[in-house]
Chain A
Amino acid sequence: MSTILIVDDDLQLRRFLRTTLAGHGHAVVEAGTVAEAIDAIARVHPAVILLDLGLPDGDGLTLLRRIPPETRPPVIVLSARGQEGDKVTALDAGAEDYLTKPFGASELLARIRVALRRVGGTPTPDVIEVGPIKIDQPRHTVTVSGHEVHLTPIEFRLLLELARHPGRVLTHHQLLREIWGPNAVDEVHYLRVHMGALRRKIEADPARPQWLLTEAGVGYRLREPKPDGPAG
């Protein structure tokens, strides 16, 4: 299907990734260092890169910054819990998404699917549907399970921004910059308050959100509906 570059110095993890991805029909290329990775990118033009942040010859961020944005395929960062700061840095530096180790195969495949969809250049349709949520861009209306909900302009922008990248995490900074402009990137609290309001309008139980998920210390994600089910 598509070529996936795995950049990780741990052989066992590479073995697991290789087996899983190959089992799902992906071509896999591996690299253990930044240098090998750069070489592989030039050689095979991978569709997605799985990047471990700690590499023997430099951290993953250097690799991220050394690939020019215009030729850079989506990068999914592999990191551990507790490194939220690193994740945000990587996302703000242009990484597509991240996976927290340990992760399951389904999670991995879902992330790759989301990333590949972007590569495919599927244009955002006028009407976006995510699960029960339906956003009609030209008409500026939102319905949940067929019922129309009234959103403020900010809430609409927020939902739209997330819905344009279903399944993908958007950092606080990214959302703030998109909606309020580059001067507002530090006003995370505003974002939280509007997010809370949006949840109360979209979610059945705003304290147990099914769609508008919080990634603590990183940002928000609109859950990607599974091809075969509504959620999970």
Chain B
Amino acid sequence: MDDDRDDRPDPDALLENLKAEESRAVRARLKIFFGAAPGVGKTYAMLQEARRARVDGDDVVIGVVETHGRPETEELVGDLPMIPRRVIEHRGVRLTELDLDAALAHRPARILIDELAHTNAPGSKHVKRWQDVLELLDAGIDVHTTVNVQHIESLSDVIQQITGVRVRETVPDLLFERADELELVDISPDELLDRLAEGKVYVPEQAQRAVQNFFQKGNLLALRELALRRTAERVDAEVIAYRKQHGISSLWPTADRILVCVGPSPGSERLIRATKRIAEGLHASWGAAHVELLGAPPLGDKDRERVEAHLRLAEALGGEVIRLAGRTVAGAVIEHARQTNVTRIVAGKPTHSRWRDLVRGSLLDTLIRGSGTIEVHVIAPLDEGPPPPASPIPREQPSAWAYGWAVFAVAVATALGMVLADYATIAEVTMLYLIAITVASLAGRGPSLVAASLAVAAFDFCFVPPKYTFAVSDLRYLLTFVAMFAAGLVISTLTTRLRRQERDAVIRERHTAALLAFTRDITVALSPADVAAVTVEHLEASFPVSASVVVPESAPGSAEPGALVAVAGLMPLAPQELGVVRWAFEHKQAAGRGTDTLPGAHILAVPLLSGDDAVGVIAVQAKQDPRRRGGTAVPLIEAIARQAGLALGRVKFAEQAREATVRARTEEMRNALLSAVSHDLRTPLAVITGAATTLRDDEDRLPGAARRELLTQIVDDARRLERVLANLLQLTRVESGLVPNRELIPVEELIGGALTRLEGTIGSWKVDLDVPSDLVVPVDPVLFEQVLINLIDNATKHGAPPIELRARRDGATVVLDVVDHGPGVPPELRSTVFDKFVRASNAPGAGLGLAVVRAIVEAHGGRVRVDSAPGGGARFRVELPAEHPAVRRPAVDELEVLPVRPVHVVRAADPEPGEAPPPGQDSGAGARS
């Protein structure tokens, strides 16, 4: 049925198309070059096309093109005619803008306007550039323009969510829809990042930081997807439009369309099913319409639920759900039927008495009279028993106080009347009573009726002659009584209705406010847990309910359906309620109380939908009387569920984008590692292999010096290999979360150990030391020796002697400097020199040494940086916390207090000088020393 409906040319659409085509003929064409981010080459593409058109002899001029000084773009601009920019002085700043009037006067066939989202300088004709574009289009000038996805108004909050950048310059979606042609200019994020790195993307000075945040690969991936999707949607819409336009026109005259009128009466269900059968028989499309009566009191909860159930049924059977509003049911239905070329209307046979028709007018009568050529089918409802009594909105039960108020009001009126009796006529006294009735009606319908009755009685008793009896001397007074009572009745009815509408308005307003607040809070939720928490919080704040958000444990789309687990909310879910939740999740439909599915449950479960996927379920349980879950609340809960579903989807999308970034980064690391390993392990291996084979094969022919040289090479390169491997292992160990095994160690000893191990490398290098002998630091001795070794090794590779090693305590920090006297580290490299696989171009090694240094220092809670030493050279500074809670620092004199074992006089003839180890001790070193 759906297909039928889509294929059939919709008269609305045709008409719209005609209009659009007509206006397009005079209104000129808008083409948008559309991109995911700045720098993809929109302007370039636009200019290229302009040049081609120029070659073909088209009248193309440039209105505004921002070349940002890029030579390729400027070259393309070349000799294209240009409308001179208008110069606007604003607070002493000269701004240039599109000269709209000049452009209009010039009347080119096509004008290029870059940056559609631009905000014009103050004092321009329009605030926004897109308004200029609309004016140019209206003047019949074709416009080619460029825009990025982040400037589309309806996407701006999504974009902010993804990129964290608030886009202030937006273009209404209207322009997008109005565009006759959309060209997506697309390059891959990697390529774009390359271009950014090469400085090919224009970045305003003051926006550098924001841009750095913006140009994350994850962001770019997400933006690109948005742009692609947006373009795809448009293409889709174009295809549908085309199909509609060129649709199977032969079907058009014979195609039937049937409309069934649906109300709260249970008979509607039968009408719907009957309509479906008729429609099948006629191969017609059909819809079910419900009319919301304007000015009539709103439907009660029960009735509204039934109407909704009927509409859902219609939808389930393939009908279109149509919600109409009008003063009368018949009027609204006929109007819609005319507009949509409905051929048949199905209505139910009335079940009420003829009297009602006389009073309210008959739906059928009006329908048949007004339907003209439209057939009206009248179907008898089945004998389903009497329709359930209409359930009006639960009336507020007036309190005793309200009745007291009514009595009081009448009493006051009587008293006043008595006082004024001498000056006032009976008519004026009547007025007093009417006032009293009006006042009483504020307290509700009951009190107002009581007041009316009392007023009549009091009036009769006190003022109607003969006074102080209920007897009435003049029959005219009876008329007065009736009038008073009737007035009271009318006033009370009106007041009550007013109050009810007021109450509804308040509820609606509260709901709207709640929804707004929810929407606001949900947009800043950054994780599924946040979304769930915000949802529960708002539901519980807006209604007297407990709520839970339930999501599948495993990611949706995985083979296993996964257990549903509550991620927010404290409401416990019994197994049967979990069943309701699961049903709602699996069928993507609301279930539980107040719905058609499992209505006996205590909870209402509304699925959270993101696109076509259910991503979770909101479970709601009324705290008090479950029957009092207001009918008006359901749409709000559903609205919240929709928003929450979208938000969950969005958050997941953002998470996926983040994961993609992490994956990309990991991938990058792996590649760097592979290339480093293949280079830095293979090169020494090649040397070793080469030298060794030479030695083996040509030993006799080699002079002694050459042999020695080869052997030295083997040893050196083997050491180099060992260093690379050691660093790789160390880095892996620290990065995989190795916890330093801290001990309080004299810095002097650390340096001594490192220098001992470096003896072979630093050889004759002069090392100047300035280390207080009592300076201790809580570090892992093995790891930290590596830090020193790598820093000193680095100094010998890139620096010049002497190397200075300085350490001191500075407050809560121990500062350790390794200074060399070489060329130093250029400032632009200082931030990256500690990164993995970054190395000086000519230096050997995998660029791992300093990365190891940083990893170890950071694992100790310290930091390392490099700057230039006074007098040139590089100064690597390591700062470490001087204290660590896990390491006890003994007082100095404590050291001497520890008892020393008595000196054992050792004699030459004593082969086993040590004592036998105490029992239970490891029979080890003690016995053997």
Contact = CB atoms under 8 A, between A and B. Distances in A.
Interface of A: 69, 81-82, 84, 91-94, 102, 104, 121, 123-126, 137-138, 153-154, 156-157, 160-161, 164-165, 170-171, 173-174, 177-182, 184, 187-190, 192-196, 199-200, 205-209, 213-217, 232
B210 interface: no
B913 interface: yes
Given A181-B901, A189-B744, A123 B730 contact: no
B906 A194 contact: no
B390 interface: no
13 contacts: A92-B924, A123-B909, A124-B910, A164-B913, A164-B929, A170-B929, A177-B925, A179-B901, A195-B749, A206-B748, A207-B769, A208-B756, A216-B753
B52 interface: no
Contact of A217 (B769, B781, B898, B918): B781
A84 B903 contact: no
B718 interface: yes
B786 to A, nearest CB: 9
Given A192-B746, A200-B773, A137 B905 contact: yes
Contacts of B746: 192-193, 196
Nearest to A101: B722
A192 B749 contact: yes
B726 A102 contact: no
A196 B926 contact: no
Nearest to A165: B929
B665 to A, nearest CB: 27
B756 A207 contact: no
Contacts of A161: 929
A224 to B, nearest CB: 14
B752 A209 contact: yes
B751 A207 contact: yes
A94 B928 contact: yes
B390 to A, nearest CB: 84
A216 B779 CA distance: 12
A173 B925 contact: yes
A179 B914 CA distance: 10
Contacts of B464: none
Given A196-B773, A209-B756, A216-B753, A190 B785 contact: no
A86 to B, nearest CB: 12
Contacts of B611: none
A157 B929 CA distance: 14
3 tightest CB-CB pairs across the interface, nearest first?
Answer: A214-B753, A217-B782, A174-B925
A161 B123 CA distance: 92
Interface in B867-905: 890, 895, 898-901, 903, 905
Nearest to B754: A216
A135 to B, nearest CB: 10
Contact of B903 (A94, A157, A182, A184): A157
B733 interface: yes
Of the four ranges (under 10, 10 to 19, 20 to 34, 35 or more), the interface on chain B belongs to 35 or more
Given A178-B926, A208-B752, A157 B900 contact: yes
A94 B925 contact: yes
Contacts of B411: none
B580 to A, nearest CB: 57
A209 to B, nearest CB: 5
B924 A124 contact: no
B878 to A, nearest CB: 16
Interface string B278-307: 000000000000000000000000000000
A171 B925 contact: yes
B512 interface: no
Contacts of B749: 192, 195-196, 214
B660 interface: no
A69 B923 contact: yes
Contacts of B490: none
B921 A206 contact: no
B827 interface: no
Considering residues B741, B767, B903, which has the most beta carbons from chain A within 10 angstroms of its beta carbon?
B903
Interface string B777-792: 0001110010000000
A205 B766 CA distance: 13
Nearest to B784: A216
A230 to B, nearest CB: 14
Interface in B694-726: 715, 718, 722, 726
Interface string B426-443: 000000000000000000
B923 A94 contact: yes
A92 B922 CA distance: 8
Contact of A92 (B759, B782, B925): B925
A216 B782 CA distance: 5
Contact of A93 (B752, B895, B917, B924): B924
B908 interface: yes
B926 A153 contact: no
Contacts of A207: 748, 751-752, 755, 769, 771, 805
A206 B906 contact: no
Contacts of B781: 216-217
Interface string B753-765: 1011001000000
A81 B756 contact: no
A189 B755 contact: no
Considering residues B718, B733, B746, which has the most beta carbons from chain A within 10 angstroms of its beta carbon?
B746
A164 B895 CA distance: 24
Contacts of A199: 748, 752
Nearest to A128: B906
B918 to A, nearest CB: 6
Contacts of A214: 749, 752-753, 756
A35 B890 CA distance: 47
Given A92-B924, A123-B911, A193-B746, 5 more contacts: A164-B906, A165-B929, A192-B776, A208-B752, A216-B785
